[in-house]
Amino acid sequence: MRKFKGKNSKVNFIWIFIIWFSVILSILLLNNFIINENKKNLLNTIKTITDEINVRLNKEINTKFTNLEVTAKYLSEEELANPEKAIQELNRVAEKSNFNKIAITYPDGVSYLNTGQVINLGHREYFQKSMRGENYISSLVESAVDSSAVNVYSVPIIRNDKVVGVLWGSVLTEDFYKSLLMENIYYLDAIYFVDNLGNTISQLATTPFDKNFFDFIEETGKINEKNLKAMEKDFINAQDSYKLFTYRNEEVYIYYSKLNYNDWWLLGKISTEKIKNMNSSVFITSSGISVALILCSSLSFIILISKNKKTNDLFKLIAFTDDITEGKNDFFLKNNLDKIINKKGNFAFISLEIINIKPIINLLGFKNTQFLLKEAYNYIAESLNKDEVVVHSYLGEYKLVLKYNDEAELIKRIETINLNEINKNIDVKIGIYLIDRADIKFEEVFSYVNIAKESITDHLKYAIYTEEMHKKEYDKIKLEEEIKQGIANKEFKAYFQPKYGKDGKMIIGAEALVRWHKCGSIISPYVFIPVCEVNGLIKEIDELVLEDVCQNLRLWINQNKKVVPISVNLSRNYLDKINCINRLVKIINQYDIPKELIEFEVTESSLVGNEKKLKETIDTLRDKGFKVLLDDFGVGYSSIRTISEMNFDTLKIDKSFVDGIGEERWENIINYTIALSKKLDMNIIAEGIETEEQYQFLINSSCDVFQGYYFNKPINSDEFSKLL
């Protein structure tokens, strides 16, 4: 009996112990779970804040740079020569952009401030960067005037393709910081901005670390070394995360998240104490073993969850609100797209973008534009039906999710959303994607509407995404990659099409035409030049062709061949850029080619909208001793006045004119063109001559030089050298 009793009590004890142990364990696990959840939540919160700050940062920086750029562009010669005269204008810009100081700095570093002070700032990094032609925003620097901590925006002042000074405006670091912050960051003890080396950009905290975050943490104790290394590695890999550190004798979590600008990072600090306090009720419950404690801990768990929910809801409200229109923003759509499109019906995702937002800002000013964007948001929102959404993304882009029955009805509806009813200056472009599956991600639809928008040309306003557009975009990207590779491998070669004098026998020159030798086949410029003109690679191709021409000329000169001038085509992009001519001259000098052996062809279409700059470029080329030809004359819309002001040496009649020979109207036009060119002291070349009849007509019309398949197609350098 006793024995039995004893055994029974032992069993009871084991059961009680097991229950007690499980309760303790589950409380501890629960605690641990909640704490981890909280940490994750904090990281999410910081990410939400960073996303919002990124939007603000872009907005802030773009507006300031736009204001500086516009001012730099329109400073008159008189104001530049005499900066006191510019003070009123500078003050106006400072006020508009909230710069506490603004100044013009000349190449020698001497700076004229809107306050009337004159100081030398030649040593400042932002000045040096902008003298090299860059827009730059500095990290925290000490003001040379009053030692305050500032961030400086600087842009180059460019005249005749040369940087003649720098226009800069400074913002008190504190203001810069405040302009980026959201009102509700009370979760965190402090926020810092650092660059990817850990250097302070801007900060506001009661106990700020010194200049460099990593140095500071390193100094405060060995315990941080491992985490510090991991954090430095995350910075290199652009990976958001958080780490535990000792910070001024206090244990803190540092959360970090990358910003979009300048390799900058946002750091958020929160002490472990504070996190513990946030979970305090759970900690208390974990110390007990009774059912009461289980209830207590469950209760605190529920409270905590709901508290978390409340905080999350508040954050969501802030994070989902667009501060220009006070409506919803991108994050809202990103987080809710699945819920919206999972409802009954067909949905279309639409990006409606105001494409001329910059000119509108220049016209109305930033404040009025903000007002306009808000009005547009309300106008769109009013047109929506149940289950439909509009959000405002970055300056002037609205994203909509609309319900539809069929495509025609959807298009009709989109056409009724006419922002010109609000302001007649607004120009929009609309990309549409018809959502075809409910699990589609925001990023995916976003890229589809962008592809649809990209495909819009000329006067069309909207496009619906198709697979074909995607393929085109993909092919374009692939082609661009292959072109880059081709440039690196020097696969672009010059072919030569001879030009003949009146007798049709003597070669008096040639035009260099690019050919791409790609994997055994030869690709025509019509395939790759349009792409290269958009992405800027055309400059490198033009230089490769010029270099190939010079290399061949050098070879032929050394072989004592009777060389003739070669004309090289220059793209419009090339002519726009600073220092372009010096690069060309450098190549020509490198091969020691006499100037009269190189000529340049500029197409008529590149004159449009670019007259002033082009005239300067053409004059410079001629001053340096090169002849300049006007190519494809007759295809563009340039006026006779423009052409007469441009000082071309030669006018090249386009093939489309030559094709018209045989028809009286065209023959009259050719005769008229030739007479006009002679009056303007220009030589005449006709290109694209394919028949004897065309050649004879042109001889009789006093054309000077002849080029076309009738004589030769473009041929490679070996074949051409045999004709010399």
> Closest CB to Mg ion among 79 and 687?
687
Closest alpha carbon to 329 in 338, 339, 342, 317: 317
DSSP-derived letter for residue 347 is E
- b/e per residue, 132-143, with b = 16+ CB within 10 A? eeebbbbbbbee
The stretches of 220-329 forming alpha helices (DSSP H) are 225-236, 272-278, 280-286, 291-319
- Residue 599 lies near Mg ion (rule: CB under 5 A): no
Residues in the chain: 724
- Residue 51 lies near Mg ion (rule: CB under 5 A): no
> Closest CB to ligand C2E among 54 and 606?
606
Contact stretch for Mg ion (CB under 5 A) within 48-56, 57-65, 222-230, 565-573: 565-573
Secondary structure of residue 176 in the 3-state scheme:
helix
Residue 259 CB burial class (10 angstroms; 0-12, 13-18, ≥19): buried
Q: In this structure, are residues 605 and 636 in contact, taking their beta carbons and an 8 Å threshold? A: yes
* Site size toward Mg ion, by CB under 5 A: 4
Candidates 446, 632, 650, 651: give the one binding ligand C2E (CB under 6 A). Answer: 632
Residue 238 gets the label, from left (phi > 0), alpha (psi -120 to 50) or beta, of left
**Minimum distance between the CB of residue 587 and ligand C2E, rounded to whole angstroms?**
13
- Residue 165 lies near ligand C2E (rule: CB under 6 A): no
Candidates 690, 691, 715, 716: give the one binding ligand C2E (CB under 6 A). Answer: 690
- Residue 9 lies near ligand C2E (rule: CB under 6 A): no
Q: What does 709 interact with, of Mg ion, ligand C2E, none (CB < 5 to 8 A by kind)? A: ligand C2E
CA distance 150 to 529: 46
Contact stretch for ligand C2E (CB under 6 A) within 66-74, 152-160, 202-210, 683-691: 683-691
> Closest CB to ligand C2E among 473 and 533?
533
Closest alpha carbon to 514 in 492, 484, 529, 530: 492
**Minimum distance between the CB of residue 710 and ligand C2E, rounded to whole angstroms?**
6
- Residue 330 lies near Mg ion (rule: CB under 5 A): no
Q: What does 708 interact with, of Mg ion, ligand C2E, none (CB < 5 to 8 A by kind)? A: ligand C2E
Q: In this structure, are residues 335 and 441 in contact, taking their beta carbons and an 8 Å threshold? A: no
DSSP-derived letter for residue 109 is S
| Residue in the block written with tokens 């905290």 | 205
Candidates 72, 137, 266, 538: give the one binding ligand C2E (CB under 6 A). Answer: 538
Cα dihedral 166, 534, 532, 564 in deg (nearest 10): -70
For 91-223, strand residue ranges (E) read: 101-105, 110-113, 118-120, 136-137, 141-142, 149-159, 162-172, 190-195, 200-204
> What pairing do the DSSP bridges indicate for beta strands 566-570 and 521-523?
unpaired
Q: What does 688 interact with, of Mg ion, ligand C2E, none (CB < 5 to 8 A by kind)? A: ligand C2E
CA distance 706 to 429: 46
- Residue 601 lies near Mg ion (rule: CB under 5 A): yes
- Residue 252 lies near ligand C2E (rule: CB under 6 A): no
- Residue 599 lies near ligand C2E (rule: CB under 6 A): no
Candidates 138, 257, 552, 569: give the one binding Mg ion (CB under 5 A). Answer: 569
Closest alpha carbon to 574 in 551, 546, 526, 540: 540
**Minimum distance between the CB of residue 474 and Mg ion, rounded to whole angstroms?**
31
Q: In this structure, are residues 682 and 666 in contact, taking their beta carbons and an 8 Å threshold? A: no
**Minimum distance between the CB of residue 574 and ligand C2E, rounded to whole angstroms?**
7
> Which residues between 494 and 533 bind ligand C2E (CB under 6 A)?
497, 513-514, 524-526, 529
**Minimum distance between the CB of residue 593 and ligand C2E, rounded to whole angstroms?**
17
* Site size toward ligand C2E, by CB under 6 A: 24
Q: In this structure, are residues 321 and 329 in contact, taking their beta carbons and an 8 Å threshold? A: yes
x/- track of binding to ligand C2E for residues 478-497 (CB under 6 A): -------------------x
- Residue 631 lies near Mg ion (rule: CB under 5 A): yes
- Residue 542 lies near ligand C2E (rule: CB under 6 A): yes
- Residue 687 lies near ligand C2E (rule: CB under 6 A): yes
Angle in degrees, CA 629, 630, 631, rounded to 5? 105
- Residue 535 lies near ligand C2E (rule: CB under 6 A): no
- Residue 31 lies near Mg ion (rule: CB under 5 A): no
- Residue 632 lies near Mg ion (rule: CB under 5 A): yes
- Residue 569 lies near ligand C2E (rule: CB under 6 A): yes
CA distance 401 to 416: 15
x/- track of binding to ligand C2E for residues 602-621 (CB under 6 A): -x------------------
> Which residues between 413 and 432 bind ligand C2E (CB under 6 A)?
none
Which residues of this protein are in contact with ligand C2E, per CB under 6 A? 497, 513-514, 524-526, 529, 538, 542, 545, 569-571, 601, 603, 631-632, 687-690, 708-709, 714
Q: Which residues bind Mg ion (CB under 5 A)?
A: 569, 601, 631-632
